Structure 1
Amino acid sequence: MNSQSVANAPQSNNSLTLNWTYILFFGAFHALALSALWCFSWQALGVAIFLHWLCGGIGICLGYHRLLSHRSFEVPKWLEYAIATCGALAIQGGPIFWVGGHRQHHGYTEDVEKDPYSAKRGFWWSHILWLLYPKQEAFDKEYYSKYASDLLRQPFYRWLDRYFLLLQVPLAVLLYAFGGWSFVIYGIFLRSVVLWHCTWFVNSATHTWGYRSFACDDNSRNLWWVALSTYGEGWHNNHHAHPRSAQSGWRWWEIDVTWYTIQLLDRLGLAKKVRKIPMSKIS
């Protein structure tokens, strides 16, 4: 989608304009991620993979998404806060922003006005342009907080929502102490960029390609390669059919690493009230 198609898309009363702060921020991260080509080491790559899993698999997929957005299971409060902190390290916004936006997405899926990253505006809108042409409804704290009032009531989440970016400072210092600039480039910049696009593909690709197991009103689809890169989130049609389920992959070959992690927490006595897709519902 180019600028002209964005302008022609159905809009609210607020005109869509480029946010140059966001463009410079994302552009700088992508440029620094490319510098990883000149400072490669297997150790640095290992750091990037580990932090991709910790911040993405644990922080975003398990934490921000299935635990906080949908409350598909419960854990002790200390563990919930620790997992949410991992999510904040992903640099995808604070928990109130992320959860508020995601609940809008489910409440108004693919509505061109009310879904912040509606796929009906086009692939590139739902992938990244919704961030570069921010709609007031999606980025106004007073508005999106209404959809995450359970988090807004907790001082820790209000603090994390405001200061999540500052968490990158101690992480960068720690990475530099252990491996120098290559660890910082791989552990902060390359990891963040790869994880961003993995997450954004859930918004874009899984509303475009793949198969459907459930007859949802939206165009959500199951897409294996997105599932593999997002620890199970690519089984998106399953998820939209049963959003409160802790289990997204249903069939034996629908690999869902996040679900396996929740099962492990359950066996360790750390997860309770775990919700599953009713077997009778699968087609």
Structure 2
Amino acid sequence: MIPAPATRPPPSVPVANELSERVVRVLVLGLPPLALGVAGFLAWGGALHWQDLVVLAITYVLTGLGITVGFHRLFTHRSFKTPRALRVAFAILGSMAVEGPVIEWVATHRKHHQFSDHEGDPHSPHLHDAPGWRGVLGGLVHAHVGWMFRGKDQANPAHYAKDLQAQADLRFVSRTFPLWVLAGLALPFGLGAALTGTLTGGLTGLLWGGGVRILVLHHATFSINSLCHTFGRRPFATGDESRNLAWLAPLSFGEAWHNNHHAFPTSARHGLRRGQIDPGDWLITALERTGLAWDVIRITPERQRARGLAR
């Protein structure tokens, strides 16, 4: 039995215009699959070109690193420090991933860590009473997307993200979130048009680097909440059900070494063992070597062994 946290969750933030919020979430989650359907239809008809895949790769890497390195390791866990301009750039790139404003995202994730897989966790797959596979599937659906439609599960930024609310530049980026969503759609359109020299190339770039990219990145991120708390290996005793899922690590930029992360939340590196692919850490290491990152938190082998690393 996993021991319950000593503290109870504070009251959740009230959700203004909850109906409109739900409509927006339905659109954000529903339109990318439609984009994938259109893209697949066009590709089947021979309309997929190398430029589209280049646009998809560029936008996926930029926004994915904005989430894992920016929103997660920098803003949520303060695993390293970096200049103000780069902090703002990470906040913008993460916002382009269309996973919510930076301050809201950070508040939710910090609440998840405080109450991981216990009452108060916004997206645990283990808090449902249904027995057997019905309970497992219900928990996975809730952890993957269902929690987003439950207003009572929303974390209060005033409680969980005071440090970010005190920074004017991050408040601005968070408040202007729709602007960065539009910028995240304009970028693939511009790249597609530049690579092909045509309006059609811009539109197919928008399709692949906009809709398809958002869909794939969303579900890579959401799978950390669902799959990585249900399937995989647990080399560390963490007091929750976090797990390492190796096949998901490259697609999630190292986030799927999730048991490692829950064992050492402030670590800049999630892939702690040899062979554990962690592109997020590669970027942080590169920034550190160029002087653009400092005070990078690393976990020594001694600390890992003390925590119970399986050999």
- Fold equivalence (TM over 0.5): yes
Q: CA deviation at 1:196?
A: 0.1
Would you say the 8 A contact 1:96–1:151 is kept in 2?
A: yes
**Residue 126 of structure 1 corresponds to which residue in structure 2?**
143
**Residue 9 of structure 1 corresponds to which residue in structure 2?**
none
**Residue 66 of structure 1 corresponds to which residue in structure 2?**
73
**Residue 134 of structure 2 corresponds to which residue in structure 1?**
none
Which residue identity does 2:140 align to in structure 1?
A: F
Q: CA deviation at 1:73?
A: 0.5
Would you say the 8 A contact 2:59–2:188 is kept in 1?
A: no
Q: Are 1:136 and 2:152 matched, yes or no? A: yes
Deviations 1:220-259 (A, max 9, x none): 1111012111111110000000001111111111111111
Q: Are 1:89 and 2:100 matched, yes or no? A: no
Q: Are 1:117 and 2:123 matched, yes or no? A: yes
1:230-249 equivalences in 2 (<5 Å):
230-249=252-271
Give secondary structure in 2 for the equivalent of 1:209: coil
Structure 1 distance, partners of 2:63, 2:187, is 16
Deviations 1:168-205 (A, max 9, x none): 33443453342321011111111001000000011111
TM-score, normalization by structure 2: 0.80
Q: Are 1:181 and 2:203 matched, yes or no? A: yes
**Residue 198 of structure 1 corresponds to which residue in structure 2?**
220
Q: Per the alignment, do residues 246 and 170 of structure 1 end up closer, same or farther by CA in structure 2, a change over 3 Å counting?
A: closer
Structure 1 distance, partners of 2:187, 2:23, is 30
Q: Are 1:155 and 2:155 matched, yes or no? A: no
Q: Per the alignment, do residues 174 and 223 of structure 1 end up closer, same or farther by CA in structure 2, a change over 3 Å counting?
A: closer
Runs of 4+ in 1 over 4 A off after TM superposition: none
Structure 1 distance, partners of 2:185, 2:294, is 34
Q: CA deviation at 1:33?
A: 2.7
| Structure 1: tracts of 5 or more residues without a match | 1-11
Larger radius of gyration, structure 1 or 2?
2
**Residue 4 of structure 1 corresponds to which residue in structure 2?**
none
| Structure 2: tracts of 5 or more residues without a match | 1-10, 128-138, 194-200
Structure 2 distance, partners of 1:231, 1:32, is 23
Structure 2 distance, partners of 1:175, 1:219, is 37
Q: Per the alignment, do residues 20 and 79 of structure 1 end up closer, same or farther by CA in structure 2, a change over 3 Å counting?
A: closer
**Residue 34 of structure 1 corresponds to which residue in structure 2?**
37
Would you say the 8 A contact 1:246–1:274 is kept in 2?
A: yes
Q: CA deviation at 1:110?
A: 1.0
Give secondary structure in 1 for the equivalent of 2:150: coil
Q: What value does the CA root-mean-square deviation take over the aligned residues? A: 2.1
**Residue 106 of structure 1 corresponds to which residue in structure 2?**
113
Q: Per the alignment, do residues 210 and 166 of structure 1 end up closer, same or farther by CA in structure 2, a change over 3 Å counting?
A: same
Matched residue count: 265
Which residue identity does 1:70 align to in structure 2?
A: H
Structure 1 distance, partners of 2:294, 2:210, is 33
Paired-residue identity, %: 36
Would you say the 8 A contact 1:137–1:144 is kept in 2?
A: no
Would you say the 8 A contact 1:100–1:148 is kept in 2?
A: yes
Q: Per the alignment, do residues 266 and 32 of structure 1 end up closer, same or farther by CA in structure 2, a change over 3 Å counting?
A: same
Q: Are 1:43 and 2:51 matched, yes or no? A: yes
Would you say the 8 A contact 1:67–1:73 is kept in 2?
A: yes
